[in-house]
């Protein structure tokens, strides 16, 4: 077996439709492009949402109200079972979690400890938030929790 002997499996390759090869080919004359117009021309493309010059739907709909998404706190979830990677009696904080790759994420995001999995070590865990089950599992092993508040944005000057 050599590289020049390799072939795709039977049926894996389809021959391409040859367009514009006469009327009897089934793909002749307009070659599947319909009649005349913008889309029949070569190199034409119409951007998504374009309605032929008519006011597009997205611009016709009124935009009202307030969206709080930009101010919402987004959490990176870390399961209790993943904390077993740390040594017994260790202090687990945001920098420790990020250093071993448990809390990866772009931007400044808060970390929330979730209760999935079992904890087998006594740890001191500091994070922005804890689920109720995570809190009970950490404290059941003799560990402690510290809730760290995120720095709030400075208020706008009047």
**Cα–Cα distance, 22 to 26 (Å, whole number):** 8
Cα separations (Å) of 157 from 7, 153, 154? 70, 12, 9
Q: What is the dihedral of CA 84, 90, 94, 96, to 10 degrees?
A: -80
Radius of gyration over every alpha carbon of the chain, rounded to an integer in angstroms: 30
Catalogue all structural domains in the chain, each as residue range(s) with its CATH number: 73-147 (3.100.10.10)
pLDDT of residue 136: 95
Q: Give the Cα separation of 39 and 17 in Å (integer).
A: 19
The answer on pLDDT for 137 being more than 60 is yes
Instruction: List, for residues 24-72, the tens digit of each pLDDT value.
Output: 988 999 999 998 998 899 998 899 999 999 999 999 999 888 888 888 8
For residues 71-92, average pLDDT: 92
């Amino acid at each position: 077996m050599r590289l020049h002997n390799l072939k795709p499996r039977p049926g894996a390759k389809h021959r391409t439709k040859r367009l514009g090869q006469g009327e009897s080919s089934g793909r002749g004359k307009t070659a599947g492009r319909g009649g005349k117009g913008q889309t029949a021309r070569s190199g034409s493309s119409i951007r998504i949402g374009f309605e032929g010059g008519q006011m597009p739907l997205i611009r016709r709909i009124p935009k009202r109200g307030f969206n709080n998404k930009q101010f919402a706190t987004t959490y990176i979830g870390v399961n209790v079972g993943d904390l077993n990677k740390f040594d017994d009696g260790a202090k687990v904080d945001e920098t420790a979690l990020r250093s071993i790759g448990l809390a990866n994420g772009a931007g400044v995001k808060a970390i929330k400890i979730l209760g999935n999995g079992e904890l087998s070590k006594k740890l001191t865990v500091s994070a922005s938030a804890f689920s109720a089950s995570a809190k009970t599992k950490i404290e059941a092993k003799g560990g402690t929790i510290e809730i760290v508040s995120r720095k709030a944005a400075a208020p706008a000057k009047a």
